[in-house]
Amino acid sequence: MWKTSLTIGLMLGLISPLLLAGQVRAAEFNPHFLVSDDEMTDVLAMDFGELQRFLDRGYLGRYITQDFTGTTKTAAEIIWTEAQRYQINPQFILALLQREQSLVQATSPTQKQLDWAMGYAICDDCSMGDPRLQKYKGFGKQVHWAAQKIREDYLTDLEATGTTLTGLGPGRIAVIDGRIVIPTNKATSVLYTYTPHLHGNENFVTIWNKWFRKDYPTGSLLQNIQDGGIWLIQFGKKRPITSRTAFYSRYNPNAVIQVPAKDLEAYEKGAPISFPNYSLLKSPNNSVYLLVDDTRRAIVSWEAFQKIGFNPDEIIEVTFEDLAGYHEGPVITVESANPQGVLMQNQTTGGVFLIADGQKAPLVSMDILIANFAGWPLNPVSFETLDQYPETDPVLLPDGTLVGMQGDPSVYVISEGQRRKIEDELTFLTYGYAWPNVLWTNEITLNIHPLGEDLTLTVEEPTELASIN
């Protein structure tokens, strides 16, 4: 409830690094690829303010202690300083802190969790009381020594020899927990060197994917900050919007979220969106279609075309490839009434319905009317006229809409017709959402959308595994 003004290194030979390479968005664990090299070393992935907000979810947000030199600093300052010093992505350090000691989400961590925050220098058979390990004890020292080890040992060795001190490297075969693993890049080699266990690294990937590979809901509009291209996220794919006219005829420009290219690279490419809604498209075999959202509806005859009142000058000649991205919808015949849909209003009660394909779909609120049909005329009709149409499910808010109920601070995003609750302000901001874009509506409007899975950055507590360094 919230709201603001919101056994390792066995060398068996060499193999091509291309084998099994690739980034996996889905939840399945690919042991050969954990994170990309760029992700591990992207020191600009978050600024200091974003880092502090991320830590504010738990105890580390207010934790003050000494860094490795004995200078008193906040946890955020320690992480930020070491990330910059050794050119390691601060997000990478956060994921390690969570994987090793569940520290980022912890609200009341033990002193042991803080003292051995990164699991650095602690092996499966080591004792934390060993006098030789005490120089690594303490939150600030743990973050420093871990970052230094990754940069000055693991990455330096990989650059010089192609392997880390344990013999791990891109394209080299290793056996980890009895399973053959072939790291495809340096980052994966680093993680297995740091923690030589499959389960520990699966935990790392789970945390990383949940926090830093954002799985945007269907309906999200993402703009690549590098090249300006705009993409629609739909059913796990990214669809390029290749026409300004198509964009402005379908979407709200204020809903566009600025993202780095890496956020888009994770998605499989889908069919482009190149034509405005209600375009007339003519295929190479002379079939004419009306585009209605993501469907193409064949117009079966010239008579049907004329009766409905379309203009032949509006027909656009396209290729079969242009049409491939649209689902086949109901055909348009002479009997088809209002294939584009029309709004009818009961002149007695004021109720509004979308009439399309011989059915009426109620619009339960003005918010839904404006969100879907701004600028459409209302046609006053009698109850008897409306009564001739069978009623179907109500019209929903468009996918991608941010919505909340007046008097309740919870915020949701509409995706595939469901409302997905956004866990907290951090999640809201991490996904790039903007407070002015939230539609504060009534209970009826909200509740016609069934509840879906929460949109969250919270991860299940991973099993603690000691690291070999």
321 and 225 co-located in one domain: no
Instruction: Say if 102 falls within a structural domain.
Output: yes
Averaged over successive runs of 10 residues, the pLDDT of the chain (469 residues) comes to 32 36 55 95 94 96 97 98 98 97 96 95 72 90 98 97 96 96 98 96 95 93 95 94 89 92 89 88 91 88 82 88 85 77 94 92 97 92 95 96 95 97 94 96 97 91 48
Instruction: Say if 28 falls within a structural domain.
Output: no
Q: What are the helix and strand counts (H, E) for the chain?
A: 17, 22
The radius of gyration of the chain from alpha carbons, rounded to an integer in Å, stands at 28
The reported pLDDT for the residue numbered 125 is 63
The reported pLDDT for the residue numbered 14 is 39
CA distance 444 to 457: 28
Which conformational region is residue 293 in: left (phi greater than 0), alpha (psi within -120 to 50 degrees), or beta?
Answer: left
CA distance 7 to 425: 43
Cβ-contact 468, 124 below 8 angstroms: yes
72 and 207 co-located in one domain: yes
Instruction: Say if 427 falls within a structural domain.
Output: no
53 and 129 co-located in one domain: yes
Among 174, 193, 212, identify where a domain stops. Answer: 212
Among 317, 352, 387, identify where a domain stops. Answer: 387
245 and 262 co-located in one domain: yes
- Strand, coil or helix: what is 332? strand
The reported pLDDT for the residue numbered 410 is 97
In degrees, rounded to 5, the angle at the alpha carbon of residue 469 between the alpha carbons of residues 17 and 65 is 120
**How would you list the strands of the sheet with 342-346, edge to edge?**
359-363, 352-356, 342-346, 378-381
The encoded tokens of residue 174 equal: 């290793």
The reported pLDDT for the residue numbered 322 is 84
**H/E segment holding residue 92:** helix 90-101
Long-range contacts of 24-27 (CB under 8 A, 24+ apart): 25/209, 25/213, 25/215, 25/236, 25/266, 25/267, 25/268, 27/209
206 and 246 co-located in one domain: no
What's the Cα-to-Cα distance from 322 to each of 274, 294, 313, 325, rounded to whole Å? Answer: 8, 12, 19, 7
CA distance 333 to 308: 9
Q: What would the 3-class secondary structure string for 217-285 be? A: CCCCEEEECCCCCEEEEECCEEEEECCHHHHHHHCCHHHEEEECHHHHHCCEECCCECCCCCCEEECCC
Main-chain dihedrals φ then ψ at residue 363, nearest 5 degrees: -105, 110
Q: Quick one: 61 exposed, middle or buried, by C-beta within 10 A (0-12, 13-18, 19+)?
A: middle
How does DSSP assign 335-395, residue by residue? T---TT-EEEEETTT--EEEEETTEEEEE-SHHHHHHHHTTPPEEEE-HHHHHTSPB-PPP
CA distance 125 to 454: 40
159 and 246 co-located in one domain: no
In degrees, rounded to 5, the angle at the alpha carbon of residue 435 between the alpha carbons of residues 363 and 416 is 45
315 and 242 co-located in one domain: no
Domain boundaries, position 308: 280-328
Instruction: Say if 446 falls within a structural domain.
Output: no
Residue-wise pLDDT tens digits, 451-464: 999 999 988 765 44
49 and 141 co-located in one domain: yes
β-pairing verdict for 342-346 and 378-381: parallel
Residue-wise pLDDT tens digits, 32-86: 999 999 999 999 999 999 999 999 999 999 999 999 999 999 999 999 999 999 9
Cβ-contact 100, 464 below 8 angstroms: yes
146 and 252 co-located in one domain: no
139 and 240 co-located in one domain: no
CA distance 276 to 279: 6
**Contact partners, residue 374, CB within 8 Å, separation at least 6:** none
Instruction: Say if 52 falls within a structural domain.
Output: yes
Number of structural domains found in the chain? 4
CA distance 235 to 400: 12
Instruction: Say if 437 falls within a structural domain.
Output: no
100 and 237 co-located in one domain: no
Q: What is the pTM of this model?
A: 0.80
Instruction: Say if 259 falls within a structural domain.
Output: yes
285 and 383 co-located in one domain: no
The reported pLDDT for the residue numbered 26 is 43
The reported pLDDT for the residue numbered 434 is 95
Q: Which of 52, 142, 67, 55 is nearest to 107 (CA)?
A: 55
The encoded tokens of residue 7 equal: 């056994």
Instruction: Say if 436 falls within a structural domain.
Output: no
